[in-house]
Structure 1
Amino acid sequence: MNTMRHLLAGCLREEPNGYMVTELVNSFPTVQDLMNASEDELKLIRGIGAVKARQLTAILEFVKKVNAPVADKRVIIRSPQDVCNLVRSDMEYLQTEHFRVVGLSTKHHVLFQETVSQGTLDASLVHCREVFKLLIKRASASAIFVHNHPSGDPTPSPEDIELTRKLVEAGKLLGIQVLDHVIIGRSSKYISFKEQQII
């Protein structure tokens, strides 16, 4: 919390224990809350006008971009950590579950990544046909599935496990190997179904 106060104070040129920083911390108590704050929400705090709100959202957007992988670099997936590095910057702070498909070539180069479902706080609706339609269309040799847990705890639920097993079976029928399913938590935490021997 003290680190967050000092970072905000530096960005806004305010005192760490001043009114504006205190109100920001009270209104957006976690990094997740702050990363998802809109300019309009920031302007509700006394002392933060359009200029400061725009300045703060620009800084937060810059942080996301810095943590994102280089767009024109061909990414190769060799491990679950590579998957986490690929998606963490834009999935770690989401407030609802997003289910993403990562299509890979025969040499495990990332061909594409696309969100196929956005759920509520606890669940995401995923249909096998939508998932594999994308993979077939992009001529993917294999796939990795990724979704986030807004709670920050990447422990898979029984529903996560059941869905993954269905997707693995569908992949076998279609000749597209499901290499892994990675759940993204917070603070760079993740769980790999492959490492956990769930698949």
Structure 2
Amino acid sequence: MRNGFQRIPQSSQPRERLLEYGPQALSDQELLAILLRTGTAQMNVMELAGRVLSVFPSLFDLKLASRDELQQISGVGQVKALELVAMIELGGRIQKALQPKIGKVRTSVDLAFTLMEDMKDYQQEHLVCLYLNTKNEIVKKETLFIGSLNQSVAHPREIFRGAVRVAAARLIICHNHPSGNPTPSENDLLFTRRMKECGELMGIEVLDHLIIGHQSYVSLREEGLWNS
């Protein structure tokens, strides 16, 4: 015992188990212990979590618990009760949350004109990815690179990492040519081919690569350069 609190062997501490095995491997008691943070002089945090779950034996029961009911449990003071109530409410809101949408891709023309307005004053190349769901709704728009588009800087793993993070079904690559001339370079074509190949391996379709110039654009798919 240290500072009035019982110690748990480090190998059994829920935070350490979370770090090593991930949240799915933890029991309800261990997850609750992490939220409670500390126990009392009479019981460690795992024992306190077990006591809470003995009063509310299912997570459904715990979801309906009021602050007053939580405070009646020995070891759960006002602060812990408020934190648990806040956790329950936030969990419910997360469960109901929908993935935000920031528009829908209908045609390459519409998208290109929007991007021309966004990118018209850029003095450097910007590589932007639009991550889409199965309905072609944009779930995320992200600028991934600023600078010359080359194989060492614009690596597919960074692009597809973002796609996996938002569970995208497909994506569109966009970048600008500050010169104003949207004609694709050989490097642009090589990069596009590499992206397509990676997408086929990962099951994430690369729909198009748009190159934005000054009041003009090139869609590699529309121009028949998709397989060049």
TM (norm. structure 2) is: 0.52
CA separation in 2, counterparts of 1:114 and 1:73? 13
**1:51-70 matched pairs, under 5 angstroms:** none
CA separation in 2, counterparts of 1:198 and 1:176? 20
2:115 equivalent among 71, 87, 109: 87
SS for the counterpart of 1:171 is: helix
Are the equivalent residues in 2 in contact too, given 1:93–1:186 (CA < 8 A)? no
1:129 paired with 2:157, answer yes
- After TM superposition, give the deviation of residue 75 of structure 1 in Å: 1.6
1:114 equivalent among 142, 150, 159: 142
1:186 paired with 2:221, answer no
CA separation in 2, counterparts of 1:116 and 1:104? 16
Are the equivalent residues in 2 in contact too, given 1:104–1:141 (CA < 8 A)? yes
Q: Which amino acid aligns with 1:194?
A: R
Q: Which amino acid aligns with 2:200?
A: K
How many positions carry a matched residue from both structures? 125
Larger radius of gyration: 2
SS for the counterpart of 1:77 is: coil
CA separation in 2, counterparts of 1:181 and 1:81? 12
CA separation in 1, counterparts of 2:206 and 2:119? 21
TM (norm. structure 1) is: 0.60
Q: For CA contacts below 8 A with separation 6 or more, give which structure has more relative contact order.
A: 1
Aligned residues with identical type, % of pairs: 39
Are the equivalent residues in 2 in contact too, given 1:95–1:150 (CA < 8 A)? yes
- After TM superposition, give the deviation of residue 81 of structure 1 in Å: 1.1
Q: Which amino acid aligns with 1:175?
A: G
Measured on the aligned residues, the alpha-carbon RMSD in Å equals 1.6
Are the equivalent residues in 1 in contact too, given 2:131–2:168 (CA < 8 A)? yes
Q: Which amino acid aligns with 2:143?
A: T
CA separation in 2, counterparts of 1:92 and 1:146? 13
Deviations 1:82-140 (A, max 9, x none): 221332222122001000110011010111111111004xx452011000000110110
Identify unmatched segments of 5+ residues in structure 2: 1-99
Are the equivalent residues in 1 in contact too, given 2:101–2:140 (CA < 8 A)? no
Identify unmatched segments of 5+ residues in structure 1: 1-71
CA separation in 2, counterparts of 1:118 and 1:73? 25
